[in-house]
């Protein structure tokens, strides 16, 4: 087993039972400046994650001992590191289960090494709110809150406040509420909702929403796969459920068959 990462090197863990794929993913991460520890089983992977406190974990679903989804849940109980599921399973239910269990991304095997590297780089440029602060060693420490600049641009701040009936989305504060009740949205769900509201009822294609989910700072592999589009469908389904529980309206987000999604205007939609 590899020794703990030195102070200036980020740690990564590759949980994969196929030695060739494990070596390939490890090489990709090492080229990105990570010190990588591999694990061939789920139990070993969970133990390594708890010991190494990595920044990034890649996880195979079809492990020989523990179901990969259970491994993901155990990882999520102890760390907020970025987790990318690498799987040969293209079924929508598998993607849904992985995202609901806490995966940040889902990449279908066989994958392109450059795409995987680009996805990792894109995630690292988008620190999550409440992300764990880092010790000098690169390990997670105590939770911190990402705050806005002390003197914001008020014109831009007003442009990010969107309303649609009782729904209010603040792009600067990154909050969404309905009748004063805040919605518990993930980063991707918030980005998608904010983009749909900004579109004022116009249809946004799945391909456009994939790029929204990646973030405006995304640089690198620009290919949008069917797996990416299915992930968007899953995020939209989760978003609909949360909106329905709060607003009682499961049809706020409309599917435009063969194209994408649009939001149904309710009352006044404003900026």
Please report, for the domain that includes residue 163, its CATH number: 1.10.10.10
Confidence band, pLDDT 50/70/90 cuts, at residue 128: low
Residue 242 falls within a domain, yes or no?
Answer: yes
pLDDT at 58 over 70: yes
Please say which residue of 84, 115, 142 terminates a domain. Answer: 142
DSSP secondary structure of 199-259: TTT--EEHHHHHHHHH-TT--S-----HHHHHHHHHHHHHHHHHHHHHHS-TTSEEEETTT
* Pair (164, 123) in one structural domain: no
* Pair (216, 247) in one structural domain: yes
* Pair (119, 17) in one structural domain: yes
Residue 83 falls within a domain, yes or no?
Answer: yes
* Pair (85, 54) in one structural domain: yes
Residue 36 falls within a domain, yes or no?
Answer: yes
Name the more confident of 55 and 161.
Answer: 55
Helix, strand, or coil (residue 187):
helix
The first and second tokens of residue 243, run together, are 């909106």
Number of H helices, E strands in the chain: 9, 15
Domain CATH for 76: 3.40.50.2300
Range of the domain at 226: 154-270
Residue 1 falls within a domain, yes or no?
Answer: no
* Pair (223, 109) in one structural domain: no
Residues 161-174: tens digit of each pLDDT: 898 888 899 988 88
CB atoms < 10 A from the CB of 34, how many?
22
Residue 2 falls within a domain, yes or no?
Answer: no
* Pair (129, 95) in one structural domain: yes
CA angle (270, 218, 193) in 5-degree steps = 30
Name the more confident of 237 and 143.
Answer: 237
Q: Of 53-57, 109-113, 236-240, which has the strongest mean pLDDT?
A: 53-57
Residue 184 falls within a domain, yes or no?
Answer: yes
Task: Please give the model's pTM, rounded to 2 decimal places.
Answer: 0.53
**241: burial class by Cβ within 10 Å (0-12, 13-18, 19+)?**
exposed
* Pair (133, 165) in one structural domain: no
177 and 171 Cβ atoms separated by less than 8 Å: no
Residue 132 falls within a domain, yes or no?
Answer: yes
What Cα–Cα distance (Å) separates residue 268 from each residue in 86, 168, 201?
43, 11, 12
* Pair (176, 248) in one structural domain: yes
Residue 20 belongs to what H/E stretch? helix 19-31
* Pair (126, 172) in one structural domain: no
Confidence band, pLDDT 50/70/90 cuts, at residue 222: low
Look at the chain and report how many structural domains it folds into. Answer: 2
Confidence band, pLDDT 50/70/90 cuts, at residue 52: very high
* Pair (111, 173) in one structural domain: no
Residue 148 falls within a domain, yes or no?
Answer: no
The first and second tokens of residue 49, run together, are 């994650």
* Pair (108, 174) in one structural domain: no
Residues in the chain: 271
* Pair (42, 122) in one structural domain: yes
């Amino acid at each position: 087993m590899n020794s703990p990462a030195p102070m200036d090197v980020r740690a990564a863990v590759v949980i994969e039972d196929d030695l060739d794929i494990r070596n390939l993913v490890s090489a990709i991460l090492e080229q990105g400046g990570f010190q990588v520890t591999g694990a061939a089983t789920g139990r070993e992977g969970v133990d390594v994650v708890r010991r190494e406190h990595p920044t990034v974990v890649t996880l195979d679903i079809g492990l020989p001992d523990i179901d990969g989804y259970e491994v993901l849940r155990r990882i999520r109980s102890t760390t907020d590191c970025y987790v990318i599921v690498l799987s040969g399973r293209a079924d929508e239910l598998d993607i849904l289960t992985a995202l609901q269990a806490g995966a940040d991304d889902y990449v279908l095997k066989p994958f392109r090494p450059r795409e995987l590297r680009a996805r990792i780089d894109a995630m690292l440029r988008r620190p999550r709110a409440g992300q764990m602060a880092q010790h000098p060693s690169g390990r997670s420490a105590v939770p911190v809150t990402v705050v806005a600049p002390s003197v914001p641009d008020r014109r831009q701040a007003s442009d990010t406040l969107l309303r649609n009936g009782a729904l209010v989305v603040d792009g600067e504060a990154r909050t969404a509420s309905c009748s004063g009740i805040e919605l518990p949205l993930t980063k991707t769900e918030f980005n998608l909702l904010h983009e749909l509201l900004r579109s004022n009822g116009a249809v946004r294609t799945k391909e456009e929403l994939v790029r929204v989910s990646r973030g405006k700072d995304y640089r690198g592999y620009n290919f949008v796969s069917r797996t990416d589009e299915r992930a968007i469908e899953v995020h939209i389904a989760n978003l609909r459920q949360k909106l329905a529980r709060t607003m009682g309206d499961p049809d706020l987000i409309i599917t435009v068959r063969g194209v994408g999604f649009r939001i149904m205007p309710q009352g006044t939609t404003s900026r």
